[in-house]
Structure formats: structure tokens, C-alpha cells
Structure 1
Amino acid sequence: MIDTHAHLDMLKSEEDLQESLQKLDCIITIGCDKEEIYKAVDIAERYKNVFASIGYHPYDVNGLSEEDILLLEKLYRKSSKVVAVGETGLDYYREITPKSVQWDFFEKQLELAKKLNLPVVVHSRSADADTVQILKNHAPFPASGVLHCFGGDIRMMERCVEMGFYISFAGNITYPKADSLRKVLKETPLDRLLLETDSPFLSPQKVRGKPNKPSNIFYTLEFVSTFLRIDSKELEEITDKNAKNLFRIEKTVTV
């Protein structure tokens, strides 16, 4: 099983990290600020079944410059374990970063991903229309990308899939009040479906209230397989194949 989005440097304990490394075939760890990008690369370099995606979260782009974008490129060129740019995107849920600044650095990272021929990991919260518009403005994306922890509606999903993106669902898909999100899941093409934990956030319902960890992805897998009426092993094979295709790790990770 592959967890396509986790923040391994934020896990509660070394025990949680080691358990997850043993139970999963692969984990994509995310670095999304000026400190975490180094931590993500370091963890990926230390463990064979960990790869890194590096970028700047919309809440962390205040005060950044063009040099910080160049830094992402330098880290990519220094490490073969960097497989994507992001997470980057828009987040209007809290007024932490001006929208204009978010737009600017979202666009810069999209263009960097295209320059490096890397997929892009997109974060979008309370910003559906603007996210789609920016992606449309910068399309096409030859290396594709993923809308991580998807929280939009069916139309947003469809428009992103039309642009070649994957759609990833996290532990919140299991929450009792997530009916609208499950409607999107039901309509998402299987060849564009990914699963993630977003650890240590968004623990699945069965362990809700506790810090999340990548090994909890099996709770989400079980829930989604039941909801979609697909055998869990078959669903695991589908989502793992999609993850390996997106992050181009199919020759490295064997399942």
C-alpha cells in the first residue's frame, strides 16, 4: 500500500514512523515550508521506500522570494528521491496570507513543476474556483499532478480530471458528515483515484481523535472499498498503480 501524502517529520513518535515504514510499500513525505523541505528530503534519503515532494504551502509563502523557488530546483537536482513539487496552492479558509501572494507563488511553483517535468501536489481549501482557474491558465501539465485531500465538488473534480490530474482522498472521507465528499468519490474515475493519510492530520473515523500515521491508511482503504463495493485488495492495486504512475516510482516500488 502507498500513502501518497504524509508529513513524516511531524509524526508523534519514532515508533509511529518505523511501524508505518514496515507496513507500507511506499510513502510520499511532504515538505511545505522553508524548514520542512530539508526534512522531507533528508527522510527520503534515509529510507528506501520514502520519496519526497517539496514546495511551499499557501500559508507559508509570506516573505518568500524568487531565491526560494530556485532552492526547490536545487534540492531536486541534488536528490533523486524528490519526485514532485508541492504541496502548493490556495487556502482561503483563514486569512493568513494575502490572496495575491498565494496566487503568485502557486503560479511560480506550477511553472517550476513544468520546467522540471515533475507532477505537482495541489492544496485547495475554500478556493475551488480560483484553483481551477489558475490550473487552467497554466495547463497543460505533461507530468500531471494531484489534488490532495480533495474537498471540492463534483464539477471541480471533473474539471481537474479533464486537465489530467489525479484526485486524492484522506481520512476525512470516513467521517459521518462527509456525505458530499463521498458523492465526489463515487463519481471519481478509478484510474484517477489516490488515497492518502495527510498524517499527522485527519485520522480516519476508527481512530479519530488520535494523531494520524501512514499505517492508518488501511482504515481508509477498507472504508472506501466498502463504499465503492470493490474488493479491498483490488482497490489497493488500483490506487497503488495510479500512485506509481503519477510519481514515476513504478520501477522502484514493487507491490
Structure 2
Amino acid sequence: MMKLFDAHCHLQDPRIINKTPELIKTAQDSGVLHFAVNGVSEQDWFSVKQLSVTYPSVLPSFGLHPWYVAERSPNWLKTLKEYFDSTPSAAVGEIGLDKGSQGKKIDFSQQVEVLRKQLELAKELNKPASVHCVRAYGDLLELMKSVGPFPAGVVLHSYLGSAEMVPEFSKLGAYFSFSGFLMSLKANKAKKMLKMVSSDRMLLETDAPDALPKSNIDSLFFVEGDTSLDNEVHGQTSTSSSTSDSSAANPSQVLTDASMLPKDTLNHPANIHNVLDYVASMLEITKEELAELSYQNAVRLFSYEGSKLLQK
């Protein structure tokens, strides 16, 4: 069985935290050995820590995501440092910059200030940092140049930046992680960008419960009890025989791929296989080759001092 490493997900998300045991077991049964679980605000850091205590496969990360910058407490940085003191196995994340529809609501200068402090902390602690970036890659590059380079690595999670910026980020210590969001890019743009990424800097992730791959429905894992899916969709996605029955009964209602599902349909961590398939096809290499190199890259990146990967 191929070994896979989910380099960025959110198993502490309130939408799925009660289903974490089943999600982890299903993903592990499919070959996913490790999950880098990223906190996003002071409110969920404890949940991430608890998951890492409960599950040997969970590697914790703590960070203040740009969407939650306005809600931070005056002591947020002190609290964050305390989490790292008490959890030596933790990496930094999710942190970043966002000028998208959600990010526009948050003062950008505050986003930059908060990100700078967390990048400096990651460098000081010699830990990798997982970075979110939406429509702000130029700003991110300048900030990383002013704080970096980053010998411990920076994960540009769900990377959708240009091919031209890949070498610039790489010089600073960046790794490029790909999720189902990659399928939203035009295929030629995705292929050009992927081919610029060095094989030793490529990672795969799910960003679960977000970023459901736009794959054929029959190839996807669904989160049991997902309220975004009505009964008819649940019936169709439960088994292939249900799909056949549904087709015969009402051909006009047949769902063939995930782009036809509600936008808030939850993503299962086992769907990293769909990301693997897509990226391998774009790179024109085998799934086995990509699984191996992305797994080894993630193990190397997350083998910092104190990491669970180094504990026996």
C-alpha cells in the first residue's frame, strides 16, 4: 500500500471533530499515516493539542489564521508561545495573508503584523510554518524576504500562486502543498506551475473538511452525516449500486462529479488520493512515484526537534 502524509488539515474543525475517530481510521486504512492538523485561533488550539495527545498520527500546529486576526486577545502571542512551550511536538500554523472575499473584512496591515510575528517565532523556534495565502502572494513574498530565509521550511498550503514565483519562494525555504483547490485552476496553468516545483519541495494535503476535490463522485469519500448533502445525494454517494438505481429512476438528477455538489460539502481526509491522482496526471508521473516523494518530503519537513516523527 502507498504511504501518504496529509500535510495540512483541520480535524479539530467543529463540523467534523465528533467524527474524528472514524475519519482517521478510514484515512489510515487507505494509507494515510500522518495528519498535520492546524489550529486557526486561540479558540481551537486546545482541541488541536488534545487530538495530538489522543492520536499518534496527528502532528499539531498552532497559529493565528488571518480570518481571526480581528478577534485576537491582547495576550494572543504570549498564549501561543505557551502552547509551544507545553507542546514541543507542535509546528506553526495556520498563519498567513488574505485579500479574498473573507480576508477583505480584516485590516490588512494587522494581518501583516500578526504574520510577521509568527514567522519570526517559527524562525526562532526552528519549526516549519504552514501559510495560507489568497490573492496576496506578492505581499507574502516580500514579507518572507524581510524575515527569512527559513531553514526549517515554510509550507505554502493549497498553493495557487504563479509558476514564476515558485523559484523565489523556494530560495527562502518554501515547500508547495497541493489540495483539491488545485482543480479550480485552468489545467494548463496548474501544469505549468506544478512543473516549476522541485520534486523535493512538493507536498500533498486535503485541507479537510474544506477543499473537496472536483473528482468523480464514485471515487470520493464522504463524511457520514454531512448535513450539506440532502437524502437523495446521500443515497447516491453511499454505494455505486445506489448510483445505478438513482440513474435509472431519474437520469436528470444524476450527480457525476463533486462540482455538482453543494459548495459546503465536507471533505474527507481520505480524499488525498484524489489529489494524488490529479497532481500525478499533471506531472505525468505515476501515483506511486508522487506518493513516495511527497511522503518523504513531509517526513523530512516535519522531523524537527521535538517532533512526534522522531519519537520512538
Q: Structure 1-normalised TM-score?
A: 0.92
Q: Which residue is equivalent to 1:252?
A: 309
The question of whether the paired residues in 1 share the 8 Å contact of 2:178 and 2:204 is answered with yes
The question of whether the paired residues in 2 share the 8 Å contact of 1:122 and 1:147 is answered with yes
Pair 1:3 & 2:23 matched: no
Q: Which residue is equivalent to 2:98?
A: 91
Q: What is the letter of the counterpart of residue 89 of structure 1?
A: G
- For this pair of structures, how many residues does the alignment match? 253
Structure 1's consecutive aligned runs of 4 or more residues displaced over 4 angstroms after TM superposition are none
Identity, % of aligned pairs? 33
Cα deviation digits, residues 161-219 of structure 1 (max 9, x gap): 11111011111223474542332112211111011111111111224234112110011
Question: Which of these residues, 263, 267, 272, is aligned with residue 212 of structure 1?
Answer: 267
Q: Which residue is equivalent to 1:19?
A: 26
Q: Which residue is equivalent to 2:44?
A: 36
Long gaps (5+) in structure 1:
none
Q: What is the letter of the counterpart of residue 61 of structure 2?
A: S
Question: Which of these residues, 250, 269, 292, is aligned with residue 237 of structure 1?
Answer: 292
Supply the distance in 2 between the matched residues of 1:44 and 1:97 (Cα, whole angstroms). Answer: 30
Supply the distance in 2 between the matched residues of 1:190 and 1:66 (Cα, whole angstroms). Answer: 41
Cα deviation digits, residues 25-81 of structure 1 (max 9, x gap): 100011011112111111111101110111011110114356211212211121233
Q: What is the letter of the counterpart of residue 77 of structure 1?
A: D
Q: What is the letter of the counterpart of residue 19 of structure 1?
A: T
Alpha-carbon offset, residue 154 of structure 1: 1.2
Cα deviation digits, residues 91-146 of structure 1 (max 9, x gap): 01132210110010000001111111111111110111101000001012121111
Long gaps (5+) in structure 2:
221-257
Residue 253 and residue 185 in structure 1: after superposition, are their counterparts in 2 closer, same or farther (change >3 A)?
Answer: farther
Residue 96 and residue 175 in structure 1: after superposition, are their counterparts in 2 closer, same or farther (change >3 A)?
Answer: closer
The question of whether the paired residues in 2 share the 8 Å contact of 1:54 and 1:85 is answered with yes
The question of whether the paired residues in 1 share the 8 Å contact of 2:160 and 2:182 is answered with no
SS at match of 1:233: helix
SS at match of 1:27: strand
Q: What is the letter of the counterpart of residue 88 of structure 1?
A: I
The question of whether the paired residues in 2 share the 8 Å contact of 1:41 and 1:81 is answered with no
The question of whether the paired residues in 2 share the 8 Å contact of 1:195 and 1:217 is answered with yes
Stretch of structure 1 that moved more, 207-216 or 124-133:
207-216
Residue 8 and residue 236 in structure 1: after superposition, are their counterparts in 2 closer, same or farther (change >3 A)?
Answer: same
Alpha-carbon offset, residue 224 of structure 1: 1.4
Matches within 5 A, 1:103-122: 103-122=112-131
Alpha-carbon offset, residue 18 of structure 1: 3.1
Q: Which residue is equivalent to 2:142?
A: 133
Please tell me whether Structure 1 or Structure 2 has the larger radius of gyration of its CA atoms: 2
Give the root-mean-square deviation of aligned CA atoms: 2.0
